[in-house]
Structure 1
Amino acid sequence: MATETTARPNGLGQSPEWRGKSPMDPPRKKPPRRKDDRVILQFDYDCFYAQVFENKNPALKKFPVGVKQKNCLATCNYNARALGLKKLMTVSEAKRACPELVLVDGEDLTPFRDTSKILFNFFKSHSWNHKVERLGFDEVFMDVTDIVEYNMFCLNRASLSNSFFCLSKEDPERGFNCDLTSIAGCVEGTASSDLDVESPAYLRLLLGSHLAQYLRLKIEEQFGYTSTCGISTNKVLSKLVGGRNKPRNQTTLLALSDDAVIDFMDCYPLRKIPGLGFKTAHVLGSHVSSQDNEATEAGTEEPPVTAHDVRLHPGISPGTIESLLVGPGAERGVGVRIWGLLHGVDPSEIKEASGVPTQISIEDTYPKGLATMALVLEELHKLSCSLIKRMRVDLLVPDENAEVPGAQKWMARPRTLRLTMRSWGALNPTQSHNSGRVSRSGTLPSLIFDLKDDMGHIAERLVTEALLPLLRRLQPEKGQRWNLQLINICVANMVVGAAEDKTGVGRDIAAMLKRQDEVLRPFQVISDPEGELEEELEDSDLELEGVGADDMSWETIGNVPCPQCGHSIPPFAVLAHNRYHELEE
């Protein structure tokens, strides 16, 4: 049975037409063009780290469980959250708030990484177009438009209550029964009873909701992991609506018009909108707030700036956003992209699933802070060793063309190295708390791919030659001390190698030339010890008239006409060309 909810917090749920009727309001700006011909599912595993431990030890499901990393909670289960515990609380604070809290050590990420891969492979196995994208360990996007379109074609509208959803074009019996008289799970936006199954946009979301429910229940049944899912027409909308009803639930956004989508987006603070980083949200929020300060009463706390505030602000437009964010390394067209996100428009595609990770990162937290350069460099070396080890595990594959048995090669090589830090304000003067991160990126040095060198030595060189220059760009201002709470090292911008490459990028040149030599062997020019070719050329009686030295080229000088096909053949290729005709026969 569909559950319908209506989101109208802070009075922002009224229609966009009403919002523009005040004489003092500026004229409405033209919204970006929206498309609703896709179906995007966004899966988010519930308290993933905690679930990994609960599945390993089912007895933990009855207790409040916190996953500890260093001296803080990386996450906690819903039993703990019901007692007031939150992510990133210190362990001592969490124990005071919940003495019965069961703490488990989450320093080793291996079980989380392995479980995430297993669940991701399940989703990949149910994709036709291979558009399945994983973000972190606990989030997966799927573009299921092609599956949904096929089922729309097969749908019997006269018997919606007894429908069959096909999961394979080749095997018509592979699928599941479903009742398509209503949306599966919760509904946000327009009531489903007001919509017609003849509407393609509605029908796509209807079918998408039942596919999402099937996949969620299969994950729970086969692997024991509950999840939440958002169903909509693009990534930003599916992620936002997926967070409406947690845990172990799903929500479909039935916003099939521009005004309905804008109405949904308007209540979200800027920092909650995916695709708007901290810096972007801060710049836009500050710009809007600074121009509205006169309307704010002294001593009152300003509410967070929302998409509604920015969208209808007279001083904000795509061009304004572009100019506010312009600078070294700024994204081209960022103003148009962000203007689209504020209206719920997100044309970004789901990346095709690949065995190559989009990035590899290692991070650690330091609740007591790192206050000296010596401590920072020591931690950078530890993280670098872990990063190199992870790269060798995730990116190395057996080299079948190597002469040495057991040799390995890189199936992908990242190009970019990124250093990210979080501190108590020292590195980010605009931050009054420790939730903001600052990053610097550079080119990843090739020394990291040396398989003969010791990992410890490579880590030392990586710190000295690459991370230290990035660190200097994050140096606190004069008079300020280091107070780092987190360090993250990441390699990204993967260039796929021969093992996984299907587009020709990063091919194994030696193997390619070897195969080419085998294919072209019948056409190779052989030596002419008896001088037969020279005699044949002498008998051809070729004359070169009216050809200057500057006009001569291998295409014209001394060419011999082929008696079979009539083509003009260079002398050195005559024998190979004759061999070509022999093979044709």
Structure 2
Amino acid sequence: MTTPLLMRQTPRTTKIPTPKDDRIILHFDYDCFYASVFENENPALKALPLGIKQKSILATSNYVARARGVKKLMLISDAEKICPELVLRNGEDLTRFRDVSKKLWSFLRSHSWNRKVERLGLDEVFLNVTDIIEYNVQLLNPNALAHSFFQLSAQDPEKGFGFDASASFGCTIPPKCPDADGATLGNPSYARLLVASHLAGYLRHKLEEDFGYTSTCGVSTNKVLAKLAGTKNKPKNQTTLLNLHEGDALSFMGESPIREIPGMGFKTSQLVESHIHQRPTEAVPHDHEYSAKITTREVLEHPGMSPGLLEKILGGPGVERGIGDKVWNLLHGVDNADVKEASDIPTQISIEDTYVTKTLNTQAELMRELHALSRSLIRRLRVDLVVANDDSGHAPTGETAVSGTGTPQKWLAYPRRYSRPSVIDGSQQAPPRDNYNRSSRSSPLPTFVFGLKDGIDYIAERLASEAILPLFRRLHSERQNWNLALINICVTNMVPTGNEDGSIGGGRDIAKMFKTQDAKLKEFTVYSNDLPAPVATSQPSSSRELSNSSENSAAAAAQGPTGTAESVANDNDDHDRQMEDIEAEGTMTAWDDDDNGECRRCPECGQRIPEFAMSAHRRFHALGD
């Protein structure tokens, strides 16, 4: 095989990055995802030109609409002029899309052995299938390739599907391997890619047959190549990149416009193109309107091009170190980043909305939006973090997941810190996101959010008025004319509950610790001669003390802002208010009650001390003397 021109013209002093070709990565991209969700809800829409709008922009459209000239990210007014019969559906509420995305992701994850399944947005998924592919390559019988069987489970040899291993499934690049001798099962790289193409075809078929969603798939040895390969034959198709020899990946990358390369964003592409042309690239108001025409080949053949030069072109305040090396690798089709391991727990959950045609300026407008955002946030918390408490570990489905009815449920995790309502201001009509004036505040998440007995609307109303509005007041003391263009509410720092029953709070009971410390530390304690050693007891002296001790234990066991199972399920408003005093990082704001004997005043120092800690406090004074 001849060395590509691109390789020959690269300066010898510049090191060519070495790719890792021992992995197999699949990249799935659901076709017209937003439109497909509505089409699955109403199959009659499949034959009509369908557009999904968000504010005044067409977020996406189905292929019937695209065939009539409608393009993604068009203004609605322009799209309707091109296609008067365009059917529009509102896609501003992402709930339905998130729910479907999670369902499809869960299906793909169930076919992963190593759990390396990574979502990219709502409609793209990466899978590292190296282990399952290598296992099945070993099972191939060279004498019966046309009757091969792909084993989906290492424990169950009957679970799988039959396939013809004498040829790849779907499209390949190149269409025919130029080195026929190398394209045999004796070539481990080819064998892995061939078998992987059949797994991709099987999963695509199941997505369509079982869920009603078509997809495009790319098959290669890293994430960048797999994603880029998948774009070559769309929709409802797949492409396997047969990069079997040194330079194959570079040849494949050569004709790709740099803006199409995954990881080459708007700003990066614009700066590189400006340097190559030696003139400023025309500024555009929105990044989706910019599409660099310059190809990877033109960049790498530019005189003096190197990682160091890219660092100078792209470097500056706030830019990550090593950006030159990173882009240099991407231009060569080298991406050593692995697929992230799947997790049932998201790192954060964020809800936001933009106000393009009319900014928010009055109290009524603000509260309406805060309630709507809070409702979406609570629903997503329940969908993403609540599972059935029946030892199955499966998430409740349908309204059960959000209404608290039906199967008993438990929390997988809780956010250790609340939300950062990020309030973003702007006075322009649809200003670029980078021109927004951002400001934010955060506070602990109130514990009533985790009550599963109350409805979403009730909790959302409390969250908006009792937690988010006060945070907003810390950002804007004025009562109106804020000119808000975007509001974001986000819960962060997700922490697994650590409890088998899913109760919130995985920490130790501080009340119990105080009660048992005498017995635990007895052999290590030195007592004054005139102070008798206390007798440890594990039982309260009266039924009244039992009631108070139990309530303290429920509150003090909370780690983070959440409390225990008792606090989540308790309908008593006073108890809820007490639980809200628990700080975000696991400390407790003390409260006392003179009427029920919960605390006593020390006769020596006058401090209020819980009953269960009084004996230790007396020893403190005795030892101090």
- Tell me the TM-score normalized by structure 2: 0.65
Aligned 8 A contact 2:345 2:413 in 1 = no
Deviation at 1:318, TM superposition (A): 1.9
Deviation at 1:367, TM superposition (A): 5.1
Asked if 1:84 corresponds to 2:82, the answer is: no
Counterpart position of 1:137: 122
Query: 1:441-484 CA deviation, whole Å, 9 max, x = no partner?
Result: 8886233456476323422344455799xxxxxx9xxxxxx996
Query: 1:397-442 CA deviation, whole Å, 9 max, x = no partner?
Result: 5999xxxx999795344799696989999998xxxxx6x7568988
Evaluate the alpha carbon distance shift between residue 217 and residue 399 of structure 1 in structure 2; reply closer, same or farther with a 3 A threshold. closer
Deviation at 1:142, TM superposition (A): 0.7
Deviation at 1:90, TM superposition (A): 2.3
Select the residue among 238, 245, 248 that pairs with 1:257: 245
Deviation at 1:110, TM superposition (A): 1.8
Task: Give me the whole-angstrom Cα distance separating, in 2, the residues matched to 1:336 and 1:365.
Answer: 36
Deviation at 1:254, TM superposition (A): 0.9
- Aligned AA (1:307): T
Deviation at 1:291, TM superposition (A): 6.9
Deviation at 1:78, TM superposition (A): 0.6
Task: Give me the whole-angstrom Cα distance separating, in 2, the residues matched to 1:265 and 1:528.
Answer: 71
Query: 1:238 is paired with a residue of what secondary structure?
Result: helix
Aligned 8 A contact 1:15 1:263 in 2 = no
Aligned 8 A contact 1:40 1:233 in 2 = yes
Aligned 8 A contact 1:360 1:491 in 2 = yes
Asked if 1:496 corresponds to 2:508, the answer is: no
Counterpart position of 1:18: 5
Select the residue among 148, 172, 183 that pairs with 2:168: 183
Aligned 8 A contact 1:16 1:262 in 2 = no
Evaluate the alpha carbon distance shift between residue 398 and residue 53 of structure 1 in structure 2; reply closer, same or farther with a 3 A threshold. closer
Asked if 1:454 corresponds to 2:451, the answer is: no
Evaluate the alpha carbon distance shift between residue 206 and residue 406 of structure 1 in structure 2; reply closer, same or farther with a 3 A threshold. closer
Query: 1:54-101 CA deviation, whole Å, 9 max, x = no partner?
Result: 111112111111122223322111111111111122222222211222
- Aligned AA (1:67): I
Counterpart position of 1:510: 508
- Aligned AA (2:51): G
Query: 1:172-213 CA deviation, whole Å, 9 max, x = no partner?
Result: 011100001111001113624721211111111111100000
Counterpart position of 2:402: none
Task: Give me the whole-angstrom Cα distance separating, in 1, the residues matched to 2:222 and 2:491.
Answer: 24
Q: For CA contacts below 8 A with separation 6 or more, give which structure has more relative contact order.
A: 1
Aligned 8 A contact 1:184 1:206 in 2 = yes
Counterpart position of 1:312: 301
Counterpart position of 2:549: none
Select the residue among 389, 410, 414 that pairs with 1:411: 414
Number of residue equivalences: 477
Aligned 8 A contact 2:171 2:239 in 1 = yes
Select the residue among 123, 148, 172 that pairs with 2:108: 123
Task: Give me the whole-angstrom Cα distance separating, in 2, the residues matched to 1:266 and 1:418.
Answer: 44
Task: Give me the whole-angstrom Cα distance separating, in 2, the residues matched to 1:275 and 1:457.
Answer: 41
Task: Give me the whole-angstrom Cα distance separating, in 2, the residues matched to 1:336 and 1:347.
Answer: 12
Counterpart position of 1:445: 442
Counterpart position of 1:237: 225
- Aligned AA (1:18): L
Query: 2:172 is paired with a residue of what secondary structure?
Result: strand
Evaluate the alpha carbon distance shift between residue 483 and residue 411 of structure 1 in structure 2; reply closer, same or farther with a 3 A threshold. closer
Counterpart position of 1:5: none
Task: Give me the whole-angstrom Cα distance separating, in 2, the residues matched to 1:512 and 1:276.
Answer: 51
Evaluate the alpha carbon distance shift between residue 158 and residue 66 of structure 1 in structure 2; reply closer, same or farther with a 3 A threshold. same
Aligned 8 A contact 1:271 1:277 in 2 = yes
Structure 1 unaligned residues grouped into runs of 5+: 1-13, 294-300, 429-433, 469-474, 476-481, 532-585
Deviation at 1:330, TM superposition (A): 2.9
Residue pairs, 1:318-357, within 5 angstroms:
318-357=307-346
Aligned 8 A contact 2:355 2:484 in 1 = no
Counterpart position of 2:33: 48
- Aligned AA (2:497): A
Identity of aligned residues (%): 43
Asked if 1:160 corresponds to 2:157, the answer is: no
Select the residue among 13, 17, 22 that pairs with 1:37: 22
Task: Give me the whole-angstrom Cα distance separating, in 2, the residues matched to 1:268 and 1:422.
Answer: 38
Deviation at 1:112, TM superposition (A): 1.3
Evaluate the alpha carbon distance shift between residue 442 and residue 509 of structure 1 in structure 2; reply closer, same or farther with a 3 A threshold. farther
Task: Give me the whole-angstrom Cα distance separating, in 1, the residues matched to 2:423 and 2:17.
Answer: 33
Evaluate the alpha carbon distance shift between residue 398 and residue 147 of structure 1 in structure 2; reply closer, same or farther with a 3 A threshold. closer
Aligned 8 A contact 2:56 2:76 in 1 = yes
Structure 2 unaligned residues grouped into runs of 5+: 282-289, 390-407, 450-461, 528-625
Aligned 8 A contact 2:233 2:239 in 1 = yes
Task: Give me the whole-angstrom Cα distance separating, in 1, the residues matched to 2:376 and 2:316.
Answer: 31
Evaluate the alpha carbon distance shift between residue 45 and residue 274 of structure 1 in structure 2; reply closer, same or farther with a 3 A threshold. same
Which range is displaced more, 179-188 or 191-200? 191-200
Deviation at 1:267, TM superposition (A): 2.0
Deviation at 1:143, TM superposition (A): 0.7
- Tell me the TM-score normalized by structure 1: 0.69
Task: Give me the whole-angstrom Cα distance separating, in 2, the residues matched to 1:28 and 1:334.
Answer: 20
Residue pairs, 1:205-284, within 5 angstroms:
205-284=193-272
Deviation at 1:234, TM superposition (A): 0.7
Counterpart position of 1:62: 47
Query: 1:510 is paired with a residue of what secondary structure?
Result: coil
- Aligned AA (1:319): G
Aligned 8 A contact 1:415 1:443 in 2 = no
- Aligned AA (1:236): V
